[in-house]
Amino acid sequence: MKANRTLFKKYLQTNNQKEKHQIEKALVDDDFAMDAMEGFQEDKSSWKQFEQFASRRQQSVKLLKISLIMTLGIFSLMIGYLMIPTPKAKDTIKLSELQKQSSIIKIHSQKEIQKMKVAPTLLRISAEQVVIETQEKSQRTESHIEILQRLDQKPLQQIEATQTKGKSLALKMGRELYIKNLKAVDYRYYRTEANKSLEGVQENEFGDQLRNIPYINLLSTAIEEFAKENYKLALLHFDQILEVYPDDANALFYGGMCLYNLNQLTQAENRFLKLQNIPFGNFREEGNWYLLHVYRAAKKEAAFRSLKLDIIEQKGFYAQKASQLTLN
């Protein structure tokens, strides 16, 4: 028989001497137990103190167990919560990702164009504004050319370092012509069929006959209508060009401008995006600059901020203008 609290309690509280003798006989070889029983007999209050201490210790052990169980429970819940798949946060929209999207270029019917409403004057971008910005950009480009010409006097190695510094992409720039002071890519140098007529064009609801018109003539007519703020008629002509030449830089850019001024922001966005993925880069900077206006008007905050940062980082002509453009 081993000494324990129950045995001590039974020994101290029983009046049966035979039972006490049996307990003493069982513990006779346990010196520690015999000393403890003698001590408890001599001082009755010591057993009471021992029981109080044991009770408090038992409560402490019980509380410790409860705390451990609660801690393990909370820890398990946290692990379970962390393992639950959460929706991915929206990534910052990058211009390169937008440009990779296959933009759908809609060719509008005459009835669809007629139903469009011109945006208020303050929300439009006029041909005059485009001309001013184009001329400013041209003057800046000419000054850069003069600087590069002066570099011809420097050693070849230094020229290469200067010209390649910060260069990220080589663009194919086409020959240009100007119609109503608005620039255009002169496709007569690149298309053998550029002077051929755009056949199959029927009489439109604006009262114009557009049969067998050479490309350059139709382009001139379209740009002239844009300059006169006849955005609906201009859009009709640019769409006719895109039906035959889907990658036409002139029709994509000025058609996008018409759509912006007609408050057709989604279609304007698509054209400016596609403008970034065609062979000629003549309107690349302008396209991004006016695409920024589209995002601003459409209140696409993430796209606006991403494109604005991209324009600023490119340090081109529109970098300073972009830094001053806000959503409000």
CB 108 within 8 A of CB 239: yes
Q: How far apart are CA 179 and CA 200, in angstroms?
A: 25
CA dihedral 98, 103, 248, 185 (to 10 degrees): -20
* Terminal Cα distance for the chain, rounded: 89
Query: Does position 120 have pLDDT exceeding 70, yes or no?
Result: yes
The pLDDT score that the predictor gives to residue 287 is: 97
73 vs 144 pLDDT, higher one: 73
CATH superfamily of 95-324: Tetratricopeptide repeat domain (1.25.40.10)
Give Cα 6 to chain centroid, integer Å: 73
Least confident of 6-10, 109-113, 200-204, 309-313: 200-204
Give the pTM.
0.61
CB 258 within 8 A of CB 274: no
pLDDT band at 91 (very low <50, low <70, confident <90, very high): very low
List, in sequence order, the alpha helices (H) in the chain: 5-13, 17-26, 31-42, 44-83, 95-100, 110-115, 127-150, 156-164, 215-227, 231-244, 249-261, 265-275, 284-298, 301-314, 319-324
Domain ranges of the chain: 5-83, 95-324
Q: How does DSSP assign 72-126, residue by residue?
A: HHHHHHHHHHHHS--PPPPPPPPHHHHHHS--------HHHHHH--PPPGGG---
Average pLDDT over residues 88-99: 47
Mean pLDDT, the chain, whole residue set: 78
Q: How far apart are CA 173 and CA 184, in angstroms?
A: 11
